[in-house]
Structure 1
């Protein structure tokens, strides 16, 4: 975290007992434009990502390696699924190449009009 952001977050937290550090962080992210991908959330949150030539909705994915066996009711082996694991950025366009370099939060949806 940079010092300016840390200072802002502490001020927000101290000046308003109703705001949590997480809420302060989220509020700061909504106000910023494109940010370096190193600062993006890695918790599966949907965000907008870019590599400078394309823009897409994306998220960080972290999957542990696994082996899963499928067996029938008698215990006989039917099938097996394996994964070497994965850690990286995924996007709705099928895989941004090269990897994203910047990100920004998704905008808030428009307010619904009451009839």
Structure 2
């Protein structure tokens, strides 16, 4: 992580901490959740763990979402609709369709940022 957090990182940490305050997590666990959210918001460092859905960006940014221990999908949040989570569903492993989910305990449970695009090594040409 960089030396000084960006405003996006601070906002992500605050949202994560507030989202964790509704549960019975210890202060230490709440701070760990906030720290992981701040790291996930840092564009210079990849996220390595799933974060609680309460900390997910709700600005239309594409992210990965997870439904409990079930599937993982690319998704984004579209406010102002009864089913604000829009995602690509491949439940049978073959069919691709756009699906949607509620923003409640019956919707996605966790999220993480999309991985950054692969950067080719300097001097290496892609075939």
Query: TM tier, shorter chain?
Result: 0.5 to 0.7
Structure 1 spans left out of the alignment, 5+ residues: 1-7, 14-18, 64-84
TM-score (norm 2): 0.50
- Give the corresponding residue for 1:89: 85
Number of positions where the alignment pairs a residue of Structure 1 with one of Structure 2: 80
Check if 1:109 corresponds to 2:114. no
Alignment of 1:15-54 (within 5 A): 20-22=6-8, 28-29=39-40, 30-52=46-68, 53-54=70-71
User: Considering only aligned residues, what root-mean-square deviation do their CA atoms show, in Å?
Assistant: 3.0
* Higher RCO structure, 1 or 2 (CA under 8 Å, sep 6+): 1
- Cα distance in 1 for residues equivalent to 2:6 and 2:50: 24
Runs of 4+ with >6 A deviation? none
Contact 2:47 2:112 in 1 (8 A): no
- Cα distance in 2 for residues equivalent to 1:61 and 1:38: 15
- Cα distance in 2 for residues equivalent to 1:96 and 1:42: 14
Out of 38, 62, 77, the residue aligned to residue 79 of structure 2 is: 62
TM-score (norm 1): 0.55
Distance 1:61 1:96, change over 3 A: closer
Higher strand share: 1
